[in-house]
Structure 1
Amino acid sequence: MRKRITLLLLLPCGLLFAQEKAHIKKGNDLYKQQDFAGAEANYRKSIAKKSQTLEGNFNLGDALYKQKKFAEAAEQFNKIAGASNAKPVLGKAYHNMGNALLEANKLEESIAAYKKSLISDPNDDQTRYNLAYAQEKLKRQQQQDKKDQQNKDKNKDKDQQNNDKKDDKDKKGDKDKKDDNDKKGDKDKDKKDQDKNNQDKKDENKKDQQEKPQPNKLSKDDAERMLEALNNNEKETQDKMKNKKLKGVKVKVAKDW
């Protein structure tokens, strides 16, 4: 749908009701000069004593809209519609109310206001166009919201899958770590048992060596006894040899000169 620049501009319907009253006239002048705050102040003064004044109330809604006070403007036009039975007034009030709600992005409420305007004035092409525009905008917004929700759900499922994978990985890692620790524990136990067996063998060999006589190794006492025996044998042998020699020697008697 082609968007027109004048789509959301308020129709100058409120200004059609301008009277010769001082505050309304001054407000209208300021409105034309785009001094919308000044216009608002004068319109409020125009309805201060006579709150049912149609001209002042309608133009006040226009001034609020121009200042982007869309919530206040919509409320003002709704109040006008509620206080009137005239179809021209209702058509214009609901039209401007729909514009204010559309600017406030209250699309469903603006569509309802445009439909009420068309009931009072079915031949208003500007209201019909604004209604179609609001409906199309709502449709696109709903489609975007649906798409955003689908993406959100998709990302949520993806995050859940990633979390599940992470949990599985963590569990596997814990299990592998436990298995490695168990294997290491078994290995350390085997090594400890082997070291103990080796130490027991060493202690046993050492004990056997201490208890078993060592060949070619004499104690101090044994060495002294053997040495004494050798000395005795040698002495006996020497005595026998000496006696043997003496027995066979001829004694020569020296001549007595």
Structure 2
Amino acid sequence: MNQHILFLFCFVSLFSSLSAQSTVAKDYIIAGNQNYQQKDFPKAELNYRQALKEDQNSIKANFNLGNALFEQKKYNEARAHFDKVIQNQSSSSAEKHMAFHNIGKTFFDEKNYEQAVANYKQALIQNPNDDETRYNYALARKLLEEQQENQNEDQNNQDQEDQNDQNEDQNQDSQDQNQSDQDGNEENQDQQGQNPQNDDGQQEGGQNGNKEGQGQQPQQNTISKGSDGKGNSSPQSSNLEYQENLLEALRQQEQETLKRIISQKAEKVRVNTDKDW
């Protein structure tokens, strides 16, 4: 890719006579051209600016200053000075052609192919026969088309990624909802698995009768106060009565046994005390 900017100082015959410029401005321009050829672009810039101080409308000083700025990649400043050449009513079609061409090159290097094409096109309007401008114009158009295709592809890819992200978010929301519903069902099942309540709000006994119920306990059958004593006695009362009867029977048996022993001893004593005459 062989692209170049066009140099105004190489076409001295295209400009107004240097006699119209001050001698000081001319000297600065010549010094700047020498610096430019030596690739000392900052010093060339300084000399061209000094020339513009002497003659601010100098077409050659503005053009060459734009070139020196371009070489330092100061594209915005370079375009400003090329534009001054274009806006100068004294500029010829050839001078405007070179200014448009160089503006196109600044945009080209920034990969702003749309603006590069627009300025190369304006350059060709001023000079349709310039081969270098036609080449740059065709190349910029090709790169612009590729850039637009890539941008469309990137946009489509981005749209697809956004759609995928949206679908993933929706799927995640659906999974979260399903999990929430499942947790709710499990909680309901746990609640249903607990002991049911009877009609009176009392909980019934444990499952299969293995656990004691949590409701009211049944009352024992006791004889109520003021009754005739004929009510149904409780198992505890019956057991106590049985024990008392048993003890009474033992006491009676013990008394009978004691009486019999005392009687037997008395009989023996009586027999032994009898005299054997």
Classify the TM-score, shorter chain.
Answer: 0.7 to 0.9
State the 1:121 CA deviation.
Answer: 0.4
Is the Cα contact below 8 Å between 1:70 and 1:103 reproduced in 2? no
1:183 maps onto 2:189 in alignment:
yes
| Partners of 1:224 and 1:69 in 2: CA distance | 128
CA-to-aligned-CA distance 1:9-30 (integer Å, 9 cap, x gap): 2122344339682111110100
Amino acid at match of 1:195: G
Match among 40, 45, 56 for residue 45 of structure 2: 40
Is the Cα contact below 8 Å between 2:86 and 2:96 reproduced in 1? yes
1:224 maps onto 2:237 in alignment:
no
Greater RCO, 1 or 2 (C-alpha within 8 Å, sep 6+): 1
CA-to-aligned-CA distance 1:17-58 (integer Å, 9 cap, x gap): 396821111101000000001001101111112111121111
Q: Where is the helix percentage greater, Structure 1 or Structure 2?
A: 1
SS for the counterpart of 2:45 is helix
* Alignment partner, residue 212 of structure 1: 235
Amino acid at match of 1:61: G
Residues 43 and 66 from structure 1, CA distance in 2 versus in 1: closer, same or farther, beyond 3 angstroms? same
| Partners of 2:205 and 2:138 in 1: CA distance | 91
Unaligned runs of 5+ in 2: 198-202, 222-232, 268-273
- The residue correspondences of 1:1-257 to structure 2 (distance < 5 A) are 4=1, 6-7=2-3, 9-17=4-12, 21-84=26-89, 85-189=91-195, 193-195=204-206, 198-200=211-213, 207=220, 211-212=234-235, 219-231=242-254
Moved more, 191-200 or 94-103: 191-200
Is the Cα contact below 8 Å between 2:9 and 2:33 reproduced in 1? no
| Partners of 1:253 and 1:28 in 2: CA distance | 185
State the 1:118 CA deviation.
Answer: 0.5
Residues 216 and 120 from structure 1, CA distance in 2 versus in 1: closer, same or farther, beyond 3 angstroms? closer
| Partners of 2:247 and 2:190 in 1: CA distance | 59
Pairs aligned (count):
240
| Partners of 1:253 and 1:24 in 2: CA distance | 187
Q: TM-score, normalised by structure 2?
A: 0.74
| Partners of 1:64 and 1:30 in 2: CA distance | 13
Amino acid at match of 1:71: N
Amino acid at match of 2:137: L
Residues 157 and 140 from structure 1, CA distance in 2 versus in 1: closer, same or farther, beyond 3 angstroms? same
State the 1:186 CA deviation.
Answer: 2.0
| Partners of 1:105 and 1:12 in 2: CA distance | 22
Q: TM-score, normalised by structure 1?
A: 0.79
CA-to-aligned-CA distance 1:99-130 (integer Å, 9 cap, x gap): 11222333222211111111110001111111
State the 1:234 CA deviation.
Answer: 6.0
| Partners of 2:43 and 2:135 in 1: CA distance | 32
Residues 194 and 165 from structure 1, CA distance in 2 versus in 1: closer, same or farther, beyond 3 angstroms? farther
State the 1:137 CA deviation.
Answer: 1.4
SS for the counterpart of 2:7 is coil
| Partners of 2:116 and 2:39 in 1: CA distance | 25
| Partners of 2:97 and 2:5 in 1: CA distance | 13
Amino acid at match of 2:104: G
| Partners of 2:82 and 2:275 in 1: CA distance | 184
CA-to-aligned-CA distance 1:153-195 (integer Å, 9 cap, x gap): 1111101111111111111111111111221222234698543
| Partners of 2:48 and 2:84 in 1: CA distance | 15
